[in-house]
Amino acid sequence: MRWAAKLGAPGQERLILTIANAGSMSGAPAPDAPPSGPQWFGHPRQLARLFTTEMWERFGYYGMRALLTLYLAKHFLFSDRTTNGIYGGFTAMVYLTPLIGGLLADRYLGSKRSVKFGALVMALGYFLLCFGGDAARPWAMIDGVRHDVVQENVTDHPSSTGHEKRYVLIDRQKLAIHGEADGTISLVAADGHVARHVAADRFSSGGDRSSYTTALVLLALTLITVGNGFFKPNISTMVGELYRPGDTRKDAGFTIFYMGINVGALLSQTFCPLLADVIGWWAGFLLAAVGMLISWALIQFDGGRLAAFGNPPADLAKDRSLLIYAGALAVVPLIMLLFLNLMTATPVAPGGGMLGYVLALPLMGKLMFGTFLISVPAILGYAWATGNRVEFQMMVAAMVLITFNTVFWTLFEQAGSSLTLFADRNTDLHVFGAFRISAAQTQFFNAFYIVALAPFASMLWVALGRRRLEPSTPVKFGLALSGVGAGFLLLVWGSSFADAGFKVSIWWLAGLYLIHTMAELCISPVGLSMITKLSLPRIVGLMMGVWFLSIAVAQYVAGVVAQIASVDTVGGEVTNPKLSLDTYVHVFATIGWISVAIGAVLLVLAWPLRRLMHGVN
């Protein structure tokens, strides 16, 4: 089997696992035979269909993801801790399931059937997100007594208007809720005097939501993760099959293919939030579902163009497809339980230490951390026992870089959680004073910068390589870590220029995404390539599994980091914008400096790591 890096999608999507069959088709011409048959920009014409299929699938996924955090926080009125926990767990599962889906396709289903099944399951998940029902009804608990919260000028849409009013109803009197800098709550009467002052630990808020619609959203997220596992690794496999062994067009073909990811992300992160704002949440998710159905239709009704690609193994004795489909649907309740456990897990008690922290982790956290912490030393032990000294040292270098990679994606993936909530609560989203975008639409910056900068980054590395000046892989990793920290520090600096409403100009957020994208281009294109070069040949597949497990762990930890930036809300809105801004600035400054420091450590370690890599770059 051959593993290929996937480049060009928002976030670490560029690193998703590609399992490509290495065997050539019977009767294939010599490796350097000229192209034959209908062409598309000098490539097999089937590439156009797979490009479009991937574009629409990513349209659906990134359109849904742009809305998800705000949907959980503002429609369902989940707390920030619960919202970020669910989001982190969901994205973690998105990076775990392709490991299984790729294996099943390789051995039993074939890539084409896997892609079609995955597309339908994901489309069903997006459709279910449309049925969120009525927005949750907010309430406030004051000194152990529950009171209704009355809302005025509040619409059930992603974007806030700034005119929303929320009052707690006490003895038929509407009292405005104002958060203070020390975390306490002032309840203000209509004439402006403080009718009541409530200690921070005596005030809490939440929402009454339908248990049915809550279960429905968890079912939707579960179906998306399962479908993603079948779709993601196998659409890329089909692209690999378009090219015969030795075809020099293959890398260029993958580059074209992955541009579809960015096109889909740019479009969906613009139009899905727009529809959600203008019409309602359901319209944004429906557009994502339509995109996913278009992706399925392109494969299902291919007019025979893909008949020779993505088929089951030729030596398969028995068709097990129905059994596999049933098994995939059978695990849905189990994954739902993992999500439910994320929602009900209690925070770690102070003073519990590392053991207390591990024991308090939700089931998903225990599963991911346990597997990762066991697999790393076990694989190194295997390399020590079965490999020579050079091979062992190269494996050590690979594991070190995998660990640092986990740190990078943990911080980079704040985009869909804490940074989106920051955009909603503490960012002036007006562009040139002419129009206003939504908080969900700010996620499009990364895809836009990738499209704009990736060609220049590629040319830069090539030019430096010709002059023997291209940085080594450890140096690129170190620059990426320092860069992602620098992005947060830029936003922290920008917060000192916040306006009277404690909102930061959108251009500071755009600057963060620019620096993060530049950092990403230092680490994203080299990760999988590094693994294939440094791993023992007999366990390359296992090392790829560890690589993607590390990314899944990073997604989960990203949710934990976002939980630290949690801000108390009433009815999905913060009661004290200043306290909200201070909280985000404190967390972003902390992780920013930590990331810069870790990046500096890796730059110092670059020289000894290069020695352990024995010429691999």
For 312-349, the three-class secondary structure string (H helix, E strand, C coil) is: CCCCCCCCCHHHHHHHHHHCHHHHHHHHHHHHHCCCCC
Cα gap 469→224, rounded to integer Å: 43
Beta carbons within 10 angstroms of residue 245's beta carbon: 14
Is 49 in contact with 112 (CB distance < 8 Å)? no
Cα gap 477→60, rounded to integer Å: 31
pLDDT of residue 1: 33
**Would you kindly state where each structural domain of the chain is located, as residue ranges?**
51-136+211-311+320-344, 137-208, 389-617
Strand partners of residue 177: 187
pLDDT averaged per 10 residues, the chain (length 617): 37 40 36 58 86 94 96 94 93 90 88 94 97 93 91 86 85 86 85 88 91 96 95 86 79 77 91 96 97 96 88 85 95 94 70 58 84 88 89 92 93 94 94 90 92 82 81 91 97 95 95 95 77 79 80 91 89 88 95 96 94 84
Beta carbons within 10 angstroms of residue 349's beta carbon: 9
Of 144, 159, 190, 187, nearest to 575 by C-alpha is: 187
Residue 416: CA atoms inside 13 Å, Cβ hemisphere, count? 34
Cα gap 485→467, rounded to integer Å: 29
Instruction: State phi, psi for 510 to the nearest 5 degrees.
Output: -65, -35
Of 587, 537, 611, nearest to 1 by C-alpha is: 537
**In this structure, which topology does domain 51-136+211-311+320-344 adopt according to CATH?**
Growth Hormone; Chain: A; (1.20.1250)
pLDDT of residue 282: 96
Helix (H) / strand (E) element for 416: namely none
Is 284 in contact with 276 (CB distance < 8 Å)? yes
User: At CB < 8 A and 24+ separation, what contacts does 283-287 make?
Assistant: 284/63, 284/67, 284/158, 285/63, 285/64, 285/67, 285/126, 285/127, 285/129, 285/130, 286/126, 286/127, 286/130, 287/63
pLDDT of residue 346: 66
Q: What is residue 132's three-state secondary structure? A: coil
**In this structure, which topology does domain 389-617 adopt according to CATH?**
Growth Hormone; Chain: A; (1.20.1250)
Rounded to 10 deg, the angle between the 46-70 and 80-104 helix axes is: 160
Token pair of 543 as six digits: 């090392």
pTM of the model: 0.89
Token pair of 537 as six digits: 């040949």
Residue 55: CA atoms inside 13 Å, Cβ hemisphere, count? 15
Two domains, one topology: 51-136+211-311+320-344 and 389-617: yes
